[in-house]
């Protein structure tokens, strides 16, 4: 009996390895449920609330400087990331998928209503993060010219253009992937799913190429600008210390401290972005190198498991900015306290002027 069980196990293992299923379907399902429906969902809920607070606080601050405009755009894109990811988490939940009376196939509809919208918001987040690091880098490198070069109005135009560019590049996908009623023999039901146009492969290939390009540009730009930012800040600080006089040393030291505080916040945001988005970037490269590493390939279970972890990390990135702002920006703290904790907030205008951020 034991020999028979061993032979069956060996045969099952051999079948899995021949089919590329190094990870079983059952194990994959457990991993994805944990990452999507427990870890991801909880962080997502906190992040959604945090970004709503961010948006309200930035509105309270006003948009007199370009950095606030940029951070507002980042908060909006992060909120879009979290909402689409939460819908994706729900669609991947087996309890939701097989709920009695549910009129659609969530595994399919997710691709159209959560997958592509999330990809777009994630690319917007990356490009805005790149713009923020570039903006702060210019503030350190060209402090006398940057105010004329980067204004709140121009920043608003850039942020709006990023949203339009990314979503327009993905818009053709929604002309070749449509929601329609289909019969599912394995469930003996007619449900709302997705149908594909004949030219779906060609259109998606172009859309994926553009979106992947945006991701690479964002990742490389954020890394380069962050390095330049740190180097310029150090050299600028040494120059200020060397040229300070007795009458102006105090004001210059305050300016240096303020610059360091803002740069530290931007570096933290950009580092968080690189760390959280690098895994999904590596996965995209992996799908191009190994054809079997994809949704329907030999290593599909490993692919889905890794993707669920990558999405959880993206959720962390979208949710982490609020505590960063609260810790590193006194201007944000003053505006937040005045908006939500008025008894302890004091006068926001005087507090902002005093903070100087």
pLDDT at residue 141 in the model: 73
Q: Sign (positive/negative) of CA torsion 290, 310, 111, 19?
A: positive
| Mean pLDDT across the chain | 83
Q: Which residue has the higher pLDDT, 234 or 56?
A: 56
CA–CA separation, 193 and 206 (whole Å): 23
Mean pLDDT of the 180-196 span: 90
Over residues 232-243, the pLDDT tens digits come to: 767 765 555 555
Cα distances (Å, whole numbers) of residue 200 to 80, 96, 115, 172, 184? 25, 28, 16, 9, 21
Structure tokens, 118: 């999330």
Residue 120: name the closest of 75, 177, 159, 165 by CA: 165
Among the listed ranges 200-214, 250-264, 300-314, 341-355, which one has the minimum average pLDDT value? 341-355
Quickly count: other Cβ atoms within 10 Å of residue 225's Cβ: 23
Q: pLDDT value at position 316?
A: 93
Could you give the C-alpha distances from 11 to 299, 300, 302, in angstroms and in order? 19, 20, 21
pLDDT of residue 142: 78
pLDDT tier at 342 (50, 70, 90 boundaries)?
low
The reported pLDDT for the residue numbered 143 is 75
Q: Give dist(CA 149, CA 135) in Å, integer.
A: 10
- pTM equals 0.83
Task: Please list the residues that pair with 184 across neighbouring strands.
Answer: 189
Q: What's the average model confidence in pLDDT over 169-197? A: 91
For 69-91, how does the pLDDT look when each residue is reduced to its tens digit (9 = 90+)?
999 999 999 999 999 999 999 99
């Amino acid at each position: 009996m034991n020999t028979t069980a061993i032979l069956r196990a060996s045969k099952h293992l051999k079948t899995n390895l021949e089919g590329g299923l190094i990870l079983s379907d059952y194990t994959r399902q457990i991993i994805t449920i944990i990452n999507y429906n427990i870890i991801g969902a909880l962080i997502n809920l906190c992040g959604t609330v945090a970004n709503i607070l961010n948006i309200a606080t930035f509105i309270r601050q006003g948009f007199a400087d370009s950095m606030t405009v940029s951070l507002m755009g980042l908060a909006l894109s992060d909120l879009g990331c979290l909402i689409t990811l939460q819908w994706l988490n729900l669609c991947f939940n087996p309890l939701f998928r097989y709920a009695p009376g549910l009129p659609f196939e969530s595994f399919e509809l997710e691709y159209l209503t959560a997958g592509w919208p999330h990809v777009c918001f994630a690319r917007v987040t990356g490009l805005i993060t790149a713009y923020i690091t570039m903006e702060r880098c210019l503030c350190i490198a060209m402090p006398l010219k940057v105010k004329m070069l980067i204004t709140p109005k121009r920043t608003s135009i850039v942020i709006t253009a990023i949203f339009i560019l990314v979503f327009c590049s993905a818009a053709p996908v929604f002309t070749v992937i449509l929601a329609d009623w289909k019969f599912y023999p394995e469930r003996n039901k007619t449900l709302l799913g997705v149908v594909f146009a004949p030219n779906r492969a060609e259109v998606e290939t172009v859309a994926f190429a553009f979106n992947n390009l945006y991701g690479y540009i964002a990742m490389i730009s954020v890394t380069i600008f962050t390095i330049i930012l740190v180097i310029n800040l150090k050299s600028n600080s040494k120059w200020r210390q060397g040229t300070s006089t007795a009458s102006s040393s105090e004001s210059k030291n305050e300016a240096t401290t303020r610059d360091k505080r803002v740069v530290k916040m931007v570096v933290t945001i950009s580092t968080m972005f690189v760390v959280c988005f690098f895994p999904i970037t590596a996965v995209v490269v992996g799908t191009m190198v190994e054809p079997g590493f994809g949704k329907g390939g030999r290593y599909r279970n490993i692919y889905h498991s890794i993707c669920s972890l990558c999405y959880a990390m993206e959720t962390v990135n979208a949710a982490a900015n609020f505590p960063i702002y609260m810790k590193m920006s006194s201007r944000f703290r003053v505006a937040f306290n005045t908006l939500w904790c008025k008894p302890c907030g004091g006068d926001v205008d005087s507090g902002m002027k005093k903070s100087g951020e």
